[in-house]
Amino acid sequence: MKGVWLEDLTWPEAKARFDRDDVVVIPVAAAIKPHGPYLPLGTDALIARALAQRVIERLPVVVAPMVDSGVALACTSLAGGQHRQSETFRQFLRDVVDGFGTQGVSRVALLGVGTSAEQLLDLDPVEGVLVLRAGGMGVPVKALIERLGDHPVGEVATSIMLALAPRSIRPEPSAGAGDPSHATAFKGERLMAAWVDDLVTTLTAKWPTLGM
């Protein structure tokens, strides 16, 4: 059985899933966050939804609507950037998790993308909650990136966006740290595949029945 988006279910269908003790995955990514001048503000959110969709296609999880905010206060001076204070962000996530708990959900995974992923690591441990960080720079990922420098986000994020939404990318800036000029859609697909493999491995390690 494949996974589903919670928003596509009726409430009795959702209850049946919760009663069956399905794992609920909650994507967390800023809906609007400045990146380079060549990537749209919605980059993190688009990547988070694409990752969640690929997890749905491999595991029988229920994916909740995305928590579409994050914490990147350094970006608030850039046009369009909207972020919550750290404690507000954490409390909101606790409220979401607690809400599912009152409905009988005992297995929850938070899937963080971008800066939101870093903030998830600072959350107080909650029983039954698994924190997933998408976008790790493990060996398979590093092998794909030509110019890591100090800030590989340019090449990584641009490659993924070339694979997911190539028309959204603006003309490239001059070369520099995280130079996006080496980005390709092929790398983007490989990066997404590596991240999804890692997410699936982590989920099934935590809850082995998912892989059956």
pLDDT digits (tens, 9 = 90+) for 8-46: 999 999 999 999 999 999 999 888 777 777 888 889 899
**21 inside domain:** yes
**Residue 185 CB partners (closer than 8 Å, separation 6+):** 159, 162, 163, 166
pTM for the full model? Answer: 0.84
Q: How many domains does the chain have?
A: 1
- 52-73 burial: b if 16+ Cβ within 10 Å, else e: bebbbebbbbbbbebbbbbbbe
pLDDT digits (tens, 9 = 90+) for 112-142: 887 655 566 556 556 668 988 886 545 555 5
β strands within the chain, DSSP E:
4-5, 24-28, 62-63, 108-112, 129-133
Residue 123 covered by a domain: yes
The CATH number of whichever domain residue 187 belongs to comes to 3.40.50.10310
- Residue 168 belongs to what domain range? 4-202
